[in-house]
Chain A
Amino acid sequence: MDGLVISDAVKDLIINIINIVILFVIVKTLAYKPIKKFLDDRKAKIENQLKEANDAKAQADAAEKQYSQLIADSKAKEADIIREAEKQAKVNADAVIANAKKTADGIIEKAKAQAKQEHDAKLAAMKDDITDLAFGISSRILSREVDSKDNMRIADEFFKQHTGSAE
């Protein structure tokens, strides 16, 4: 019998197909699995890195939130400190003003007392001067006006009181 006659083209095709299948099996065995593994590993690594990045971001967000809270707290404390310092400064200023007023009042009172003292002294001195002047004028006038009748009257009055006799 004549056998099946297969053309060279078909033979080539069959051989190619077999080659391809063999190649496919070899590639699948030798390359596909490692490559898939590599790709899976890489994917896992990337996913891991993404997770780490997300965790880091979450930590950063938490730190930022904490930092913001700290800033807010310190600002509130700062405001309290400033308020307290302002209050204390006002108290101190009021005390200084009160003290200065008291000192000024004391100085004014002292000055008033001194002025009155000086005024009284001047008045007393003036009084002395005026009475001295009056005394001097009176003496001069009386020196001219007093006569023997006046002297006699003085003597009579004296002896009337001391002896009961008058002439």
Chain B
Amino acid sequence: MKTVIITAAENMSDETYNRICSGFKEKLGEDAEFKRITDNGIIGGFIAEVDGEIYDLSISSQLKKMQKEIIG
């Protein structure tokens, strides 16, 4: 069984967390073990790690991308 680590800020509701878990189950096509890590540094959204593959949907990474584009 695969392990999915979800990193999210405190402001993520359980409903949203469950939505993410069911979404990954569907994507993987199998059941998986889920772990939740709270990190307010990501501000919002989530980061999912599945078998070494990272899905970064955090707001902090979006902001950093914008900062890099501005600085050049």
Whole-angstrom distance between the Cβ of A152 and the nearest chain B Cβ? 5
CB neighbours (8 Å) of B16 from chain A are: 148, 151-152, 155
CB-CB contacts below 8 Å: B1-35 with A: 8-9, 11-13, 15-16, 19-20, 23, 26-27
CB-CB contacts below 8 Å: A94-146 with B: 124, 127-128, 131-132, 134-135, 138-139, 142-143, 146
Check: A162 CB closer than 8 A to any chain B CB. yes
Whole-angstrom distance between the Cβ of A35 and the nearest chain B Cβ? 134
Whole-angstrom distance between the Cβ of A66 and the nearest chain B Cβ? 90
Whole-angstrom distance between the Cβ of A141 and the nearest chain B Cβ? 10
Verify B43–A139 contact, CB threshold 8 A: yes
Whole-angstrom distance between the Cβ of A162 and the nearest chain B Cβ? 6
Main secondary structure of the interface of A (DSSP, over half): helix
Whole-angstrom distance between the Cβ of B59 and the nearest chain A Cβ? 6
> Using a Cβ cutoff of 8 Å, how many contacts connect chains A and B?
75
Verify A146–B63 contact, CB threshold 8 A: no
Chain B's closest residue to A158 (CB) is B57
Whole-angstrom distance between the Cβ of A4 and the nearest chain B Cβ? 173
Chain B's closest residue to A165 (CB) is B26
Query: Given the complex of chains A and B, what is the CA–CA distance between A139 and B64 in angstroms?
Result: 10
Contact size range, B: 20 to 34
Verify B57–A154 contact, CB threshold 8 A: yes
Check: A159 CB closer than 8 A to any chain B CB. yes
Query: Given the complex of chains A and B, what is the CA–CA distance between A72 and B9 in angstroms?
Result: 109
Query: Given the complex of chains A and B, what is the CA–CA distance between A142 and B15 in angstroms?
Result: 20
Verify A155–B59 contact, CB threshold 8 A: no
User: Can you report 11 residue pairs joining A to B where beta carbons are below 8 Å apart?
Assistant: A131-B70, A135-B63, A135-B64, A135-B67, A139-B43, A143-B43, A150-B44, A155-B46, A158-B23, A159-B27, A163-B23
Known pairs A143-B9, A146-B44, A147-B11. 14 more at Cβ < 8 A?
A: A128-B71, A131-B70, A132-B67, A135-B63, A139-B43, A143-B11, A150-B45, A151-B16, A152-B15, A154-B46, A154-B57, A155-B19, A163-B26, A167-B19
B residues lining the A interface (CB < 8 Å): 8-9, 11-13, 15-16, 19-20, 23, 26-27, 40, 43-46, 55, 57, 59-60, 63-64, 67, 70-71
